[in-house]
């Protein structure tokens, strides 16, 4: 999965939006045939914002190609529409008053299966502008564990973050790419929080204490997140908010209140998940309704300073600290860590070795085998004819 985070430069940051996925599903990424200012069948368009997702089934198949195609459509959105501006760093450009009416785009990969267990692929995605990646989606990768068990793949007892998984986190720290723990198991999240040199985020997760869904974060992990100086960005999807298909704005605000009580407002952000989920609290059905939750939190005595942190400042602080770690690691060379082939267990991977003629012949039809052998004998006869 590939998604884009939007920052309206004059107001707030909203993490995790799967608009790019809906453009693929409904319009086959053909931007020339749609008007992104006003879209139907989705919760996001330019007019509502004014107020790179690849399914797990692609693992071991064409996930890298599909991810590249989603990066392409997001980059096109962010360059062809004057309302958007592609951002690749936590620089003062976010505060450039000349661009206050722009909507900034940050490209994020959802699901480590998109890199096909390849650190060079991870680095190339960074070169294309990707600045965040969640380690899993709804399936395990060969090196990290998902919070859900929809797919019975890469099941490893007592090994939620492998040696290669730690290498992925290290390389993301070195690059300055934000590590996203939404969708990971609590054990994987805990291992990453103990290992990462940089702050991490849960880009779209809520409180397990309020709704005991496996996609949410328990209090003991929230404490580790605070020690990491990371961020939990609250998801708006109803089943994660009320543990039912329907929810209210009050249910959602309860998550903000509880997380604030446990680790403070400076560790909280807006997660959204519009166009990823299908059911949202009444009154919060699309991206134009963000002010509704702000009004509810103001009623609950949240201060304007706290809300400014939640809406914008907390994420920018995390991004800046991630880049500070990158700068401190500038002496490190790109990692050459490779995952063992037996751990990948991917039939589509080519083992780089010279083919043996006998193996080539044995894999062909009987008629081809006979012709192949005849050609071999003919070649040998010609060779020896030159040496009487």
Q: Is the pLDDT of residue 29 over 70?
A: no
Residue 2: pLDDT band with limits 50, 70, 90: low
Amino acid 42: pLDDT: 46
Mean pLDDT of 206-226: 97
Q: Is the pLDDT of residue 62 over 60?
A: yes
Q: Is the pLDDT of residue 388 over 60?
A: no
Greater confidence, 338 or 354?
338
Amino acid 188: pLDDT: 97
Mean pLDDT of 151-176: 91
Q: Is the pLDDT of residue 160 over 90?
A: yes
The winner for highest mean pLDDT among 247-256, 358-367, 372-381 is: 247-256
Instruction: Given the residues 45, 113, 116, 137, select the one marked as catalytic.
Output: 137
Instruction: Given the residues 183, 251, 254, 296, select the one marked as catalytic.
Output: 183
Decide if 204 is catalytic. yes
Give SS3 for 161.
Answer: strand
CB atoms inside a 10 Å sphere around CB 328: 13
Greater confidence, 186 or 46?
186
Domains and CATH numbers, the chain: 2-343 (3.20.20.140), 354-385 (no CATH)
CB atoms inside a 10 Å sphere around CB 178: 30
Decide if 85 is catalytic. no
Decide if 38 is catalytic. no
Residue 49: pLDDT band with limits 50, 70, 90: very low
Instruction: Given the residues 145, 273, 296, 309, select the one marked as catalytic.
Output: 273
Greater confidence, 6 or 33?
33
Mean pLDDT of 256-262: 98
Decide if 286 is catalytic. no
Decide if 18 is catalytic. yes
Q: Report the DSSP beta bridge partners of residue 184.
A: 146
Q: Is the pLDDT of residue 232 over 60?
A: yes
Residue 11: pLDDT band with limits 50, 70, 90: very low
Amino acid 47: pLDDT: 37
This prediction has a pTM of 0.80
Instruction: Given the residues 45, 85, 110, 254, select the one marked as catalytic.
Output: 110
> 343-350: long-range contacts at Cβ-Cβ below 8 A with a sequence spacing of 24 or more?
343/117, 343/142, 343/143, 343/162, 343/164, 344/117, 344/142, 345/142, 345/154, 346/60, 346/116, 346/117, 347/60, 348/60, 348/61
Structure-token pair, residue 272: 């959204």
Mean pLDDT of 188-207: 97
Q: 30-57 in b/e burial notation, b at 16+ Cβ within 10 A? A: eeeeeebeebeebbbbbebbeebbbebe
The winner for highest mean pLDDT among 38-52, 57-71, 213-227 is: 213-227
């Amino acid at each position: 999965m590939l998604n884009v985070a939007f920052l309206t430069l004059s107001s707030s940051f909203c993490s995790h939006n799967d608009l790019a996925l809906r453009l693929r599903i409904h319009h086959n990424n053909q931007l020339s045939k749609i008007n992104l200012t006003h879209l139907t069948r989705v919760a996001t368009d330019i007019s509502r914002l004014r107020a790179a997702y690849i399914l797990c089934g692609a693992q071991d198949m064409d996930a890298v190609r599909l991810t590249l195609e989603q990066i392409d459509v997001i980059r096109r959105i962010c360059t062809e529409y004057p309302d958007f501006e592609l951002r690749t760093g936590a620089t003062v450009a976010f505060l450039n008053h000349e661009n206050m009416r722009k909507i900034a785009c940050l490209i994020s990969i959802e699901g480590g299966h998109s890199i096909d267990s390849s650190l060079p692929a991870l680095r190339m995605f960074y070169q294309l502008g990707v600045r965040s990646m969640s380690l899993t989606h709804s399936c395990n990768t060969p090196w990290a564990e998902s919070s859900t068990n929809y797919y019975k793949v890469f099941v490893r007892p007592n090994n939620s973050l492998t040696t290669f998984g730690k290498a992925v986190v290290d390389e993301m720290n070195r690059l300055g790419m934000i590590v996203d723990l939404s969708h990971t198991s609590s054990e994987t999240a805990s291992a990453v929080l103990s290992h990462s040199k940089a702050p991490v985020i849960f880009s779209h997760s809520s409180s397990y204490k309020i709704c005991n869904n496996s996609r949410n974060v328990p209090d003991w992990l929230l404490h580790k997140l605070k020690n990491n100086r990371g961020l939990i960005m609250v998801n708006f999807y109803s089943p994660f908010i009320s543990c039912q298909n329907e929810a209210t704005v009050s249910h959602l605000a309860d998550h903000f209140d509880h997380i604030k009580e446990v680790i403070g407002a400076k560790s909280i952000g807006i997660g959204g998940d519009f166009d990823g989920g299908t059911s949202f609290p009444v009154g919060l059905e699309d991206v134009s309704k963000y002010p509704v939750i702000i009004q509810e939190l103001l009623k609950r005595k949240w201060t304007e300073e706290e809300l400014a942190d939640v809406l914008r400042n907390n994420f920018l602080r995390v991004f800046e600290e991630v880049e500070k770690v990158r700068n401190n690691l500038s002496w490190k060379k790109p990692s050459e860590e490779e995952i063992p082939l037996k751990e990948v267990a991917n039939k589509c991977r080519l083992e780089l070795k010279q083919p043996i003629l006998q193996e080539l012949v044995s894999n062909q039809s009987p008629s081809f085998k006979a012709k192949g052998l005849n050609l071999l004998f003919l070649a040998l006869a010609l060779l020896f004819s030159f040496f009487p």
